Structure 1
Amino acid sequence: MSILLLTGACVGSFINVVAWRLPREESVVWPGSHCPRCGCSVQWHDNIPVIGWLSLRGRCRSCNQPIAARYPVVEALSAGLWLSSAWAIGLGADSISADLVTTLVNLFGGVLLISLLIPLVLIDIDHLWLPEPICRAGVISGLLATGLVAAFSDQQTDGSLLFNHLLASAAGLLVLEALSALAERLVGQPALGLGDAKLAAMAGAWLGLAGLGVAMGIAVISGALFGVAGRITGRLKPREPFPFGPFIAVGIWLVWLMGPEWWWSQWVTLIGP
Structure 2
Amino acid sequence: MFSLAALAANTGWKEWQYYDDLGRFMLMAIPVVFLYGICIGSFLNVVIIRLPRGESLIKRSSHCMTCGAKIRFIDLIPVFSWLMLRGKCHNCGEKISARYPIVESLNGLLYVACFLVFGVSVYTFLMCLFTSLLICIAFIDWDTMDMYLPMLFAIGLLAIPAHFVTYLHIPDRLIGGVIISVPFFLIGEISGAYIKKKTGEKVRGIELGDTILMGCAGLLLGWKAMIPATVIGIFLAVIFGLIIKKVTGESKFAFGPYLCAGLLLGAMFGEELTDWYIHNYVAQFLTTDETIHHYTSMLMLLR
**Contact 1:214–1:264 under 8 Å retained in 2:** no
Q: Deviations over 1:111-135 (max 9, x none)?
A: 1110110011110111111111111
Any runs of at least 4 consecutive aligned residues in structure 1 with deviations exceeding 4 A, and if so which? 266-270
Structure 2: segments with no counterpart, 5+ residues: 1-29, 197-202, 286-303
- In structure 1, give the amino acid aligned to 2:99: R
Q: Is 1:246 aligned to 2:262, yes or no? A: no
Q: Distance in 1 between matches of 2:249 and 2:135?
A: 24
Q: Determine which of 219, 231, 248 is the counterpart of 1:235.
A: 248
Query: Following TM superposition, by how much is the alpha carbon of 1:80 offset from its aligned partner in structure 2, in angstroms?
Result: 0.5
Q: Determine which of 133, 145, 170 is the counterpart of 2:161.
A: 145
Root mean square deviation of aligned Cα? 2.3
Structure 2 residue aligned with 1:116: 133
| 1:174-189 superposed matches below 5 A | 174-188=182-196, 189=203
Q: Deviations over 1:157-211 (max 9, x none)?
A: xxxx123213422444333222100111233331011110111112202211222
Structure 1 residue aligned with 2:174: 166
Structure 2 residue aligned with 1:100: none
Number of residue pairs matched by the alignment? 247
- In structure 1, give the amino acid aligned to 2:254: P
Structure 1 residue aligned with 2:146: 129
Query: Following TM superposition, by how much is the alpha carbon of 1:65 offset from its aligned partner in structure 2, in angstroms?
Result: 1.0
SS of aligned partner of 2:222: helix
- In structure 1, give the amino acid aligned to 2:267: W
Q: Determine which of 194, 216, 241 is the counterpart of 2:208.
A: 194
Between Structure 1 and Structure 2, the one with more helix by share is 2
Query: How many percent identity over aligned positions?
Result: 30
* Segment drifting more, 183-192 vs 242-251: 183-192
- In structure 2, give the amino acid aligned to 1:256: A
Q: Deviations over 1:83-140 (max 9, x none)?
A: 0001112x3xxxxxxxxxxx51221122111011001111011111111111111111
Structure 1 residue aligned with 2:270: 259
Q: Determine which of 9, 24, 31 is the counterpart of 2:60.
A: 31
Q: Distance in 2 between matches of 1:181 and 1:134?
A: 23
Q: Distance in 2 between matches of 1:267 and 1:17?
A: 43
**Contact 1:255–1:263 under 8 Å retained in 2:** no
SS of aligned partner of 1:259: helix
TM-score by length of 1: 0.83
**Contact 1:12–1:79 under 8 Å retained in 2:** yes
Structure of higher CA gyration radius: 2
User: Relative to 1, partners in 2 of residues 1:259 and 1:173: Cα closer, same or farther, differing over 3 Å?
Assistant: closer
